[in-house]
Structure 1
Amino acid sequence: MGTHVIKMPDIGEGIAEVELSQWHVKVGDLVVEDQVLADVMTDKAMVDIPSPVHGKVIALGGQPGEVMAVGSVLISIEVEGAGNVKESAQPAPVKEAPVAAAKVEAVAESKPSAAPAPKAAVCQGPMVAREADERPLASPAVRKHALDLGIQLRLVRGTGPAGRILHEDLDAYLAQGQSNASAPVAAAYAQRTDEQQIPVIGMRRKIAQRMQDATQRAAHFSYVEEIDVTAVEELRAHLNEKHGATRGKLTLLPFLVRAMVVALRDFPQMNARYDDEAQVITRLGAVHVGVATQSDVGLMVPVVRHAEARSLWDSAAEISRLASAARNGKASRDELSGSTITLTSLGALGGIVSTPVLNLPEVAIVGVNKIVERPMVIKGQIVIRKMMNLSSSFDHRVVDGMDAALFIQAIRGLLEQPATLFVE
């Protein structure tokens, strides 16, 4: 018998270290060739580490969350024959995995309480359990009396006609110790001293690092503009009614992508990347729009490539495909990199104003807030319109405030007069 040592592979792109995200085996397991042993994470993607041999796992080289250098020992496997322990162990071949292929499990540690929580009072009196929305029978005077005493009427047994609660029932309830310290109330207000410790590893660590890096390196500033989306929503509804069955349904996102593409013709400085180490700004003709997407393991940004060459339905289909791939853990490294400007939206949860964080090395991110109906004054008349805010952020090292405002106002004009989205 021999030992085959698998070292942390060189994944490329100049990466010197990677994070061990998850083990798929443990010591003592029998493994076969090409079986996935572990997931490791780079700055851009999750990567599977497969086994090049058959054998038995005898040692693991790290713990999930540990950052390991390329070339360090990852795992040792007992094999038939001499193995490779006397040789210079070659890194195992790697297989790119979807970013969310392995869910990073947060390890929760519950600490013992310093003192026991107060015990709920034992119900001994004339008490009855009612549904939370059941309204017990009682006169206004009894209700006021119960309110003054802090008694929940739904817990009191009524002895009057049809179960009506009387003043005597409140007295009996109090006499049995069933005041506002009753069991359900006591349980709801019981003190808690438990804690949880959740390691920040895997995708969550990468998100934290990127967000911290972005806010420390870029000079963020945000600009908010209100947009009347009544007309574009009417156009969207009309197109869905006419073509939805054959071409697919349109959301607002492809219209926003189209508006960004058209506006960028006049504001190319927004479609750029800034290398702050080399002090070089690269403006790009191609518009690769990153669409921020929430997944089970955190925020990911799949990229709609060459949005400038896509129709509304083409953009819609690609956004839907990428979002599904990201949420299901099937997005590839290429699909999650290379964006030139980012669009982020919380949909119906978008609130009134947000301050999105730049997706470095980009210099602009357009944030979408929710659509609400509001009374607006148009030509002296109060009318109901569908309104939406764009809350967008920019890198002030590269983008001037006036240019940012004009860029968002250009998007506003295009969406408020949606025919202009298609005028060449």
Structure 2
Amino acid sequence: MAAVTRGSFTALRRLLTQQYRRRCFRPHGFRSERPLLLLSNNRCLQTLQCRTLHTTMVSRGPVVQFKLSDIGEGIMEVTVKEWYVKEGDRVSQFDSICEVQSDKASVTITSRYDGVIKKLYYDVDATALVGKPLVDIETESNSEVIQEEDVVETPAMAREEHTHQEIKGHKTQATPAVRRLAMENNIKLSEVVGTGKDGRILKEDILNFLAKQTGAILPPTPVHEIHTPGPAQVSAAARLASTSVAIKAPPTTTARAIFTGKDITEPLTGFHKAMVKTMTAALKIPHFGYCDEVDLSRLVTLREELKPAAGHRGVKLSYMPFFIKAVSLGLLHYPILNASMDEGCQNITYKASHNIGVAMDTSQGLLVPNLKNVQLLSVFDIALELNRLQVLGSKGQLGTSDLTGGTFTLSNIGSVSPLQTHLFM
């Protein structure tokens, strides 16, 4: 009898164990409320509750193209200076994404969405276009996709808080620069009437609104400061007026001159046309002025010592050859001064040759022939070449090779202003 009981007990325990395993490892979401009964050796009943494995799936939303918004001032493109995120990073609203730089200021771009960065459209130092995608963000399904303008946070906006909030549900069209101006002057954009396209608020609208609020009103003149003239003052003023009328001389009539000149129009030709083209091109580059004084006592002594040797070579040695050679030595130390940029301002070319031009006043006008490869010439060679150009210039025989290919220019105006020599790059 005991043997049968032990065998039945063993079979029952094996059966209950199999049922326990099947119920514990079942598909997600199925949960049995029926308890399992297990017989122990001491014939006591224990109630066991089946456990189930639980996993949470994060639901993703749509992938949104985060576009670079208009940052104001008519800027159409910017340079990406630094990325604060990379692909796969999680971002929240108002988190910094990257820093871009225009030709006027640096701007920090912040996120409008909660999600994961899926794609970066630009590398560092690449040019990003306004209105084009900047990054792709995979938004979360429980986050609201806000279809508005991208948030552009300037350094000043990052340090200050908005003191006013716009009317909820009303979208005010204004550039970040206009919003910043309104914020600095504590002006609600909802109170400003926009005069731009589609009601866009312009900078002038903010200034006009501010002028109306802070318009200066002249205070009234105090009563005690108002003086009424007495009888004596009135009589004196009347006598003075009558005297001035009596001594007033009658106007004299003069014959009007008749101008018979006529405008004369003639076409630009030759050097005059080239001068206009050159001067117009010169205005396209930045200009700056600098004046300094240098002690040339040792140069004066050196020139006097070299004059006899120059005379034997038939060369007139002035101070200009020394200045030209000094410029060439300076260009060796600072090659950026002997460089040029292409029309698109995308590449810079460092010139190997020092073709230094010298402005000359000739019968044909102001011409700028240049001395080729000054870096290879001595002071005597420079003086000899300079004399040759001066002779050809006085005769009007300067060739195309003499007038083209210059990389740096000197203009000696010592006869007008002895303390300056103009440099043109």
Relative contact order, higher structure (CA 8 A, sep 6+): 1
| TM-score exceeds 0.5 | no
So what's the TM-score if we normalise by structure 2?
Answer: 0.36
Larger Rg: 2
So what's the TM-score if we normalise by structure 1?
Answer: 0.36
Higher fraction of helix? 2
